[in-house]
Amino acid sequence: MTDYKSEFLQEAREFVELMNQSFLKLEKGEKSAIDEIFRAVHTIKGMAGFMEFKNLEKFCHKLESTLGQLRGKDVSEEVVDILLSSVDVISEMLNKIESENNDDVDFEQILEKISSIEICKEESDTKKLDLELKDFEDANLKITIKLTEDCQMKGVRGLLILETLKSVCEIRATEPEETKIEGGCDFFIVYAKGDANAIEEALSAVSEIEKFSISEIVKPSAQKTVEVEPKAEKKVESEECELKVEKREVKKSESIRVDIQVLDTIMNLIGELVIIRGRLLQISSKYSISELSEAINIMDKSVTRLQDEVMKLRMVKVERVFNKFPRMVRDLARKLGKKVEFTMEGLDTELDRSVLDEMSDPIMHLIRNAVDHGIESPEERIMAGKSEVGKIKLSAKREKSNVVIEIEDDGKGLDLEKIRKKALEKGLIAENSNLSDEEIKALIFLPGFSTKDAPTEISGRGVGMDVVKTTVERLGGSLKLISEKGKGTKIRIILPPTVAIIKSLLVSVGGQIYAIPLSNVVEAVYVDEKNWKKIHGNPFLLVREKPILAFTLSEIFGCNGGNGRKVGIIVERENEKFALIVDSIIDQQEIVVKPLTGLISKVRGFSGVTILGDGTVVPIVDVSSLLGGDRFG
Amino acid sequence: MVKVLIVDDTAFMRKLLKNILFSAGFDIAGEAENGKQAVELYKQLKPDVVTMDIVMPEMNGIEALKEIKKIDPNAKVVMCTAVGQEQMVKTAIKLGAKGYIVKPFQAPKVVEELKKVAKV
């Protein structure tokens, strides 16, 4: 059984996710969402039963029957609250199953709440039952008939059965209706008044019936049972259909689950292959054996394709992470007494799985911030002449070779004065420092900065804006903050779609080759006497008359730079430009990033290494940490 | 032994059915090549089961069924039909046919149908 546990948990969690989304749809009035929820609960119940987690099974069962009664009805916010918290109970059970292998979670309280939903709904249900019952009130038998699979002319057979039955009893109702049976169906139910033995005898004279059963309908006290039975029967049938549909879908996409670690290993191996390919290319050009170079050319193409395909494998839709946000925003807004309309765009934008996973928490933090700090209370909003409902938009889109994620709200925007004061208090800036608006905005990204005096339950979770920024930069991306007081805040995150293979500029410094990620590079200019200036002792490179602070890499790395004309690589970091002075540019190429591990993993200034075709190990410059204060801490 | 009357206007079909039913242990009481003959033979032979083709000269299977039912309301008639003739079989069933077999015949199905109808 333990073999299945991880699969069970994974799938169950997917269903929990689906339920969260569907409940929100339901709240918005999409009544069909309840069917999806129903299916999810039912599947979890089935799986739990198989795995012998009794509490979970019982809880799902209860939830299922309640949901059944909500079908086709309008559902209030309060009911959705209860239902959402019941989804949380399921999650909690799943967590407990994962960590302790049992599902002992107290769910009595929530069960009571769920039951309270039922009571107010029950009345209308019984009325409906009565109506449906009238047609076959005096039926005493329920006959179910299933035709054989190879039955020829099912409609004719159905008619023959009905005619045969009519000769021995009185048919009160059928399911489906008679015309449908005559149209041909494998399975049907007949409610009739008559003698069971006679019916049995008559039916046994009809061929191509796989099986039939005749049961007495128990009458007097419980009219309900009459109805309940066929209903249960119907359910089984429709579930069968659903199951079939599901299977077909699986067949169509023919997908399998793969552990992300396996993908990483494959990616690594392909990285090695790419390096070897480079070596072989070099060797073949050295010896110029035509057969060899032909073979290598073919291999070259295959490896390139293989690399592309594996990169695609790693891509997942942002939906995977984004989908949990609507529920979060809803709960948060309700808790804070704010009204928020949360929209998402570009859900099918694809991003490398590891990038997306890393970004999950930062994006969540930004959205929390938007709800907590950005959007004002309804009263404040009305005072400010805005609509009572605040808007938050989360979007993802592909822009050239990057993926852009934006979080936008129409709240109160950043209060620059407040930020400045706070930074002063925390000793992050000096009393007399004269900062531009942009510089003040940048302050919120400093570690240990928070404008709320007492962090609320929501925002005090350890992930600060500084973590958001460092995560984005570590992934080779950049972050921009646009905010206008009273109008709102927009945070724009630009990410490379993948981290494993990047485009880079190979440069030479003191005879050693270094790689600079192209995502950081703005432009490159030759250094000469005219554009090289020293201002207050600091070197600057003039680019189109604008001074840019310059860093000579040979000095930073402590080696002797080469002679001759140097090149200034202009890089961008947090809206600021810097010039890195190198000896020369060698090439521009795609490199496979190998992360630094062990002792050297803490070296700042480098994000990893790569191996070139000839086997040379090349450090990859991490612009952000290279220029970030304590260089080799 | 169950006595069968085979009604079909083609000799080939009659032979085919005869072979199937004979080897399954039925007694072939007689053969008719149209509806009129079938009604006559029914009166004479009093078979347990009749296999009745639908499209035939002189008198078709539906008419013959009606006539036979007039003679014997409990007559057990099995219609021989082909894909596309569903509507006619349905009519026959409403008129009291007890079963049907579909051309091209599958021996086991034919035998099962007739055994069921004859309650063997």
Over chain A, what is the mean pLDDT? Answer: 79
Cα separation, A70 vs A31, in Å, equals 9
Q: Which residue of B has its CA nearest to A148?
A: B109
Over chain B, what is the mean pLDDT? Answer: 91
pLDDT of A596 reads: 76
Which among B94, B113, B117 has CB closest to A163?
Answer: B94
Q: Is the minimum CB–CB distance between B119 and chain A shorter than 8 Å?
A: yes
Cβ contact A152–B102 (<8 Å)? yes
Q: Give A340-389 pLDDT, tens digit per residue.
A: 999 999 998 888 887 888 888 889 889 988 898 889 888 889 988 888 89
CA distances from B59 to A397, A598, B50, B103, B112 (A): 76, 98, 15, 20, 28
- Asked if the model's pLDDT at residue A628 lies above 60, the reply is yes
Active site residues of A: 42, 64, 369
Q: Is the minimum CB–CB distance between A446 and chain B shorter than 8 Å?
A: no
Which tokens is A170 given? Answer: 């009185």
Q: Which residue of A has its CA nearest to B106?
A: A152
Q: How far is B117 from chain A (nearest CA, A)?
A: 5
Q: Which residues of B touch A207 (CB under 8 A)?
A: 99, 109, 112-113, 116-117
Q: Which fold has domain A319-495?
A: Heat Shock Protein 90 (3.30.565)
Residues A211/A225, Cβ–Cβ less than 8 Å: no
Which tokens is A213 given? Answer: 């059963």
Q: Is the minimum CB–CB distance between A101 and chain B shorter than 8 Å?
A: no
Structure-model confidence comparison of residues A567 and A432, the more confident one: A567
Cα separation, B78 vs B110, in Å, equals 10
Mean pLDDT of A427-450: 77
The verdict on domain A141-251 having CATH code 3.30.70.1110 is yes
Q: How far is A111 from chain B (nearest CA, A)?
A: 54
Q: Going edge to edge, which strands form the sheet with A538-543?
A: A521-527, A566-573, A576-582, A546-552, A538-543, A532-535
Percent of chain A with pLDDT over 90: 8
Which tokens is A80 given? Answer: 């959705």
Q: Which residue of A has its CA nearest to B83?
A: A153
Q: Which residues of A touch B89 (CB under 8 A)?
A: 153, 156
Cβ contact A206–B100 (<8 Å)? no
Which tokens is A415 given? Answer: 């209060």
Q: Which residues of A touch B51 (CB under 8 A)?
A: none
Which tokens is A262 given? Answer: 């396996």
Q: How far is A230 from chain B (nearest CA, A)?
A: 28
Q: Which residues of A touch B94 (CB under 8 A)?
A: 159, 163
Which range (A8-17, A130-139, A218-227, A517-526) has the least confidence?
Answer: A218-227
Cβ contact A156–B86 (<8 Å)? yes
- Asked if the model's pLDDT at residue A561 lies above 80, the reply is no
Which among A156, A182, A204 has CB closest to B100?
Answer: A156
The verdict on domain A260-317 having CATH code 1.10.287 is yes
Q: Which residues of B touch A155 (CB under 8 A)?
A: 86, 90
Cβ contact B100–A153 (<8 Å)? yes
Which among B83, B90, B116 has CB closest to A207?
Answer: B116
pLDDT of A450 reads: 62
Q: Which of residues 196-235 of A touch B (CB under 8 A)?
A: 204-208
Helix (H) or strand (E) holding A577: strand A576-582
pLDDT of A33 reads: 81
Q: How far is B50 from chain A (nearest CA, A)?
A: 15
Mean pLDDT of A445-461: 57
A to B CB pairs, distance under 8 Å: 45
- Asked if the model's pLDDT at residue A131 lies above 80, the reply is no
pLDDT of B53 reads: 92
Is the four-CA dihedral B7, B11, B17, B23 of positive or negative sign?
positive
Measured in degrees and rounded to the nearest 5, phi and psi for residue B16 equal: -60, -50
Q: Give A569-608 pLDDT, tens digit per residue.
A: 998 876 678 899 999 998 888 787 777 777 777 777 888 8
Cβ contact B99–A206 (<8 Å)? yes
Q: Which residue of A has its CA nearest to B105?
A: A152
Which among B83, B93, B102 has CB closest to A159?
Answer: B93
Q: Is the minimum CB–CB distance between B93 and chain A shorter than 8 Å?
A: yes
Q: Which residue of B has its CA nearest to A155?
A: B86
Cα separation, A437 vs A454, in Å, equals 25
pLDDT of A137 reads: 64
Provide ipTM, 2 decimals: 0.90
Q: Matching CATH topology for A260-317 and A319-495? A: no
Q: Which residue of B has its CA nearest to A152?
A: B102
CATH class in words for A2-122:
mainly alpha
Which domains, from first to last, does chain B contain?
3-118 (3.40.50.2300)
Angle in degrees, 0-180, between the axes of helices A223-253 and A108-134, rounded to the nearest 10: 110
Which among B90, B98, B116 has CB closest to A156?
Answer: B90
Burial A545-573 (b: 16+ CB within 10 A, else e): eeebebbbbbebbeeebeeeebbbbbbeb
Greatest Cα pair distance, chain B, in angstroms, is 34
Q: Which residue of B has its CA nearest to A159?
A: B90
Cβ contact B90–A205 (<8 Å)? no
Cα separation, A549 vs A570, in Å, equals 10
Which tokens is A113 given? Answer: 């709440």
Is the four-CA dihedral A625, A627, A629, A633 of positive or negative sign?
positive
Domain limits, chain A: 2-122, 141-251, 260-317, 319-495, 501-626
Cβ contact A156–B98 (<8 Å)? no
Which tokens is B39 given? Answer: 């009604």
Burial A579-615 (b: 16+ CB within 10 A, else e): bbbbbeebeeeebbbbebeeeeeeeebbbbbbbbbee
Cβ contact A207–B99 (<8 Å)? yes
Cis, peptide link before residue A176, omega less than 30° from 0: yes
Q: Give A206-255 pLDDT, tens digit per residue.
A: 888 888 888 887 654 443 333 333 333 444 444 444 444 444 333 444 66
Is the four-CA dihedral A502, A508, A513, A514 of positive or negative sign?
negative
Q: Give B43-52 pLDDT, tens digit per residue.
A: 999 999 999 9
Say whether A310 sits in a helix, a strand or coil: helix
Q: Give A499-540 pLDDT, tens digit per residue.
A: 667 788 999 998 899 999 887 888 998 988 888 888 888 888
Which of B83, B101, B109, B110 is the best residue to mutate to test the A interface, defined by the most A CB atoms within 10 Å of its own CB? Answer: B109
- In CATH terms, the superfamily for domain A501-626 is CheA-289, Domain 4 (2.40.50.180)
Q: How far is B54 from chain A (nearest CA, A)?
A: 15
Q: Which residues of B touch A163 (CB under 8 A)?
A: 93-94
Percent of chain A with pLDDT over 70: 85
Cβ contact B94–A159 (<8 Å)? yes
Q: Which residue of B has its CA nearest to A150?
A: B109
Closest CA to B83 of B53, B103, B110, B106: B103
Q: Which of residues 95-114 of B touch A (CB under 8 A)?
A: 97-100, 102, 109, 112-113
Q: How far is A241 from chain B (nearest CA, A)?
A: 27
Which tokens is A182 given? Answer: 């005559």
Which among A156, A159, A207 has CB closest to B112?
Answer: A207
Residues A592/A274, Cβ–Cβ less than 8 Å: yes
pLDDT of A574 reads: 63
Structure-model confidence comparison of residues B14 and A25, the more confident one: B14
How do A390-399 and A402-409 pair as beta strands? antiparallel
pLDDT of B115 reads: 92
Say which residues have a Cβ less than 8 Å from residue A140's Cβ, sequence separation at least 6.
A192, A193, A194, A216, A217, A219
- Asked if the model's pLDDT at residue A59 lies above 80, the reply is yes
Measured in degrees and rounded to the nearest 5, phi and psi for residue A48 equal: -65, -40
Which among B99, B102, B119 has CB closest to A160?
Answer: B99
Which of B111, B116, B119, B120 is the best residue to mutate to test the A interface, defined by the most A CB atoms within 10 Å of its own CB? Answer: B116
